[in-house]
Chain A
């Protein structure tokens, strides 16, 4: 059977294969630091990944990140955005934005979330950016330690 253009294609990730609907593609005009060539991502949501999601690049350059809500890592996390960063996301003060922290896992299994430079997605415009505020009290490696 012929594939129609509207038919979702498959997206192969380290976390399994998922349906890829072109309408789910988020444009990252600047890519991500270290992955500047990755300009399109999808945010994969799956019960097997919850409370994480997978930010996976689409196209020739493959990069894949586990992300989670910064509020899950730091319940008091304050979401403040400079106007220049908001402009870059084509958002106004009233635009609902999705905030995500990228997770790192060390060889010894220690987990950290990047609270310093959150990935922010404007779902109304399907545009995203890893925002690096000029000043921030939050660490690049916010520890996710087992509470003792």
Chain B
């Protein structure tokens, strides 16, 4: 791993067109400003990892597609016959 020491408002450049600048240094975190071409996606590592784990789980279904479709249709029917829900519940 390449390690740099940078001061406030100093930057590094990565390859062609990516710049990471130190915008603020606080007690609880460092604020970074990133400039990059639009074809480069930039994500917080922990969110990307969470999406990746969810995709891996999604690709390994524990039951048949028929079973899933049947169960989903039941869920939707049950929903339609009850009062509309405002937001889906988040488990995470």
Residues of A within 8 A of B (CB): 14-15, 29-30, 32-35, 48-52, 54, 63-66, 68, 72-76, 83-84, 87-88, 102-107, 109, 111-117, 130, 132, 139-148
Q: Could you pull out 30 A-B pairs where Cβ atoms are within 8 angstroms?
A: A29-B39, A51-B72, A51-B73, A52-B72, A63-B59, A66-B58, A66-B68, A68-B72, A73-B88, A76-B86, A84-B38, A87-B39, A88-B38, A107-B62, A109-B62, A109-B63, A111-B71, A114-B55, A130-B51, A132-B51, A140-B92, A141-B91, A141-B92, A143-B91, A144-B75, A146-B78, A147-B81, A147-B82, A147-B85, A148-B82
The interface residues of chain A lying within 8 Å CB-to-CB of B75 are 111, 144-147
Question: What residues on A are CB-neighbors of B2 within 8 Å?
Answer: none
**Pair A87/B86 contact, Cβ less than 8 Å:** no
Chain B interface residue number, banded: 35 or more
| Total A-B pairs, Cβ < 8 A | 133
Find residues 29-66 in chain B having any chain A CB closer than 8 Å to their own CB: 38-39, 41, 43, 47-48, 50-59, 61-66
Q: Is the contact region of chain A dominated by helix, strand, or loop, or is it mixed?
A: loop
Residues of A within 8 A of B48 (CB): 33, 132
Q: Which of B43, B76, B87, B88 contacts A51 (CB 8 A)?
A: B76
- Which residues of chain B are within 8 angstroms of A30 by Cβ–Cβ distance? 41
> Considering the chains assembled together, what is the distance between the CA atoms of A114 and B57 in angstroms?
11
Q: How far is the CA of A75 from the CA of B79 in the complex (A)?
A: 11
State A73–B59 Cα separation when bound (angstroms).
Answer: 19
